[in-house]
Amino acid sequence: MALAALLSATDPATAESLGDVLRDHGIKAGQGMSPGTRITSYSVLDDARQFVIAYYEQQGGSALAAPLYISRLDRASRRWAHAALDERSIRAAGPGCLGSVLSIQPAGTALLVETHINPSASCTLVLGGNLRIEDVIFGWPLAVFAPGLVVYEHSQPHFFALHPLELSLYDPRTRTSVALYPPAPPPPLRADYVAKVRVAYTEAWCRAQNHPCEPERFDERLDGQVAVDEKSRALAFRVAFDDRALPGIAAGAVYVYRRLGDGRPVQVRELAPDDLKVRCGDAALARCLDPGALARLFGP
């Protein structure tokens, strides 16, 4: 079955042998594995607990062909497990989810296998201990908290007129997600930008741009990496507001979250980027996650 996904510059690796990759990681092939197989569009996870590789067999040409092969070595037992996934394995995801493998991450007892759809969209396959697909996230992981909670960014339709930013917290144990961003109701900086967007979204502009023109959903993006503190169950990130109806207007905010998955309601604070040093003691995002900074931000 030929897949629509094509190899691209974002592919982690292309056209090596399975044996070469295993040797690079000091791993011996298990029973039933063919070290001479040419593989493409693969990624690996290599940590103290396990070694995992997900790959396609090289077929020639630029198109990928199912299945997606996944092999996992449990370092404690020295046992291998293998799976071959095709589109029928992920019916809930629909066609196109078996693209190039961009990353593999552990999330508690689950594995997150991120595949490439287009520059603004990914699928993340949630695999159980038997390497079967238990769920599919339409987006890509940004952070993982114990016991496997995943903060992920939602995929965007690549050629749509609108690209809002959405983040959620996913629990692989219950296969449920809770929306994190944008916060509701909108805090002051976001609300101020929404008001400006509402003025810019004139009927004539919206019609000419074939734009849905919903002021609360505007073009925005993550500005840099997220900061994570597992002990504090906290997360911080910068957002750039850059809707194309407001060209040349630089705006954005910093958002700090705590109590992620600790059984209490998640809390969020919005900061102006220029306030970081004053509120957190340093301009670095990670300093906002220090216990003292969190106490000052959220109060008693």
Residue 199: both structure tokens together = 């003025």
List of residues 6+ apart from 231 with CB closer than 8 A: none
Question: Domain spans of the chain?
Answer: 2-180, 188-298
Q: Which of 300, 270, 296, 246 is nearest to 184 (CA)?
A: 270
List of residues 6+ apart from 123 with CB closer than 8 A: 90, 93, 96, 97, 99, 114, 115, 117, 136, 137, 138, 155
Q: Could you tell me the sign of the dihedral formed by the alpha carbons of 207, 210, 212, 216, in that order?
A: negative
User: How far apart (Å, rounded) are the C-alpha atoms in residues 87 and 92?
Assistant: 9
- Does the pLDDT at position 167 exceed 90? yes
DSSP H helical segments within the chain, as ranges? 18-24, 188-200, 203-209, 276-280, 291-298
User: How far apart (Å, rounded) are the C-alpha atoms in residues 125 and 97?
Assistant: 9
The confidence score (pLDDT) of residue 1 equals 30
The confidence score (pLDDT) of residue 2 equals 32
Confidence of residue 94 (pLDDT cuts 50, 70, 90): low
User: How far apart (Å, rounded) are the C-alpha atoms in residues 262 and 53?
Assistant: 32
Q: pLDDT > 90: what percent of the chain?
A: 75
The confidence score (pLDDT) of residue 123 equals 92
User: How far apart (Å, rounded) are the C-alpha atoms in residues 148 and 118?
Assistant: 26
The confidence score (pLDDT) of residue 93 equals 55
Which tens digit of pLDDT belongs to each residue from 106-145?
999 999 999 998 888 899 999 998 999 999 999 999 999 9
Q: Could you tell me the sign of the dihedral formed by the alpha carbons of 198, 139, 157, 237, in that order?
A: positive
Across the range 59-81, mean pLDDT stands at 90
Confidence of residue 92 (pLDDT cuts 50, 70, 90): low
The confidence score (pLDDT) of residue 6 equals 34
Residue 232's Cβ-side half-sphere holds a number of Cα atoms within 13 Å equal to 21
The confidence score (pLDDT) of residue 11 equals 45
